[in-house]
Amino acid sequence: MRCALLIPTVLLVAMGCGPAGTATAQQAEAAAPAADEGSFSQDFVLRTCEEARVALDKGAGIRLQPVPAVLLTAEQALARRKAYAATLTEGSGVTKGMDLMADLVFSSTMLGRYLPDEKVLYILDDVLQRTAPDARRAREVLFAVVAHELVHAHDDQVYGVFPDLNVVLSEVANGDSTQLVPLQTLMSLLEGHATWASELACRQAGIPPLPEPTMDEVRDAEQFDGGGNPLLEGLAAAGNAVARLKMLQYVQGREFCRRAMNFGGEAFMKEVFAHLPLSDDELADFELFKQRWAQAKEAEMEAAEPGTGS
């Protein structure tokens, strides 16, 4: 049972930055012919990243230093990842869990991903080639995905709130699954922040945002098929359950962060991250969190007041 929980636990985090780019690639690929091979470059990626970084500042109030980005094929990304992991010692946090699902992380539909241990943004050239019919469409898709991933980079490097997957995996392996619900809630917050802030950046730049799943799509999600094999059907059912949890992260997290940023902008999101953990009820109802936050701030101000005694 412990081993059975390990892969879903990794998926809750390891897929965290992926579905936004995945959904775009799947939809665009069905509607557009492939671009000519070699039509995109590292310089194109860097320019688009810089445009997204500026738009996040102007549109969402998110300021961060440029994040290194690399344009790689899926094969090159896996090779780079393995070489990086080989230099690390045991207990290197999120890396260990990420590597368990490396083939999924750099799948045929994963366009972009920020790696919090490397502090690097990976862009997969294979997917970009299949997704975009021309440079204009490539810029639109890449901009939206990069904006999403840069918010993850910001939350990692500025707020320091990415979960330590190594700790979570160790607890699950020892039979302690109490952190799974808080992990789901935290990842919902992180995905929601990246989703809503990237939409604001797209609006600032006049670029179509990434499509967002609805609750009906969450309920009906069937991303894995066992093909009639009893063993594979069981694995597919588990995979689909995790996929629904991931989609739920985007839906619930986006709505919470939309309300939080409408209330107080990115400055209030900083307050949200400073007052973790977030409960399930608070994630579902922003007003509940706002009430707890107001009470906490009042207590903090009272504690900071100088004493009145002689």
Q: Say whether pLDDT at 130 is over 90.
A: no
Please provide residue 17's backbone torsions phi and psi, each rounded to the nearest 5 degrees.
-100, 5
Express each pLDDT in 59-94 by its tens digit.
999 999 999 999 999 889 888 888 887 777 665 545
- Dihedral sign for Cα atoms in the order 274, 269, 122, 24: positive
Position 215 confidence tier, pLDDT thresholds 50, 70, 90? low
78 contacts 103 by C-beta, under 8 angstroms:
yes
Nearest Cα neighbor of 144 from 132, 133, 156 is 132
Express each pLDDT in 96-125 by its tens digit.
545 544 544 556 668 899 988 889 999 999
Pick 118 or 176 by higher pLDDT.
118
- Dihedral sign for Cα atoms in the order 58, 200, 148, 193: positive
Q: Give the tokens for residue 7.
A: 């892969």
Helix (H) or strand (E) holding 120: strand 120-124
112 contacts 82 by C-beta, under 8 angstroms:
no
Express each pLDDT in 186-210 by its tens digit.
988 999 999 999 999 999 999 999 8
52 contacts 123 by C-beta, under 8 angstroms:
no
Average pLDDT over residues 129-136: 83
Averaged pLDDT of the chain: 77
- Position 133 scores a pLDDT of 76
What residue segments make up the domains of the chain, in order of their start? 2-299
Q: What is the CA radius of gyration of the chain?
A: 20
Q: Say whether pLDDT at 274 is over 80.
A: yes
Question: In a 10 Å sphere around its CB, with 0-12 CB exposed, 13-18 middle and 19+ buried, how is residue 12 labelled?
Answer: buried
Question: In a 10 Å sphere around its CB, with 0-12 CB exposed, 13-18 middle and 19+ buried, how is residue 40 labelled?
Answer: buried
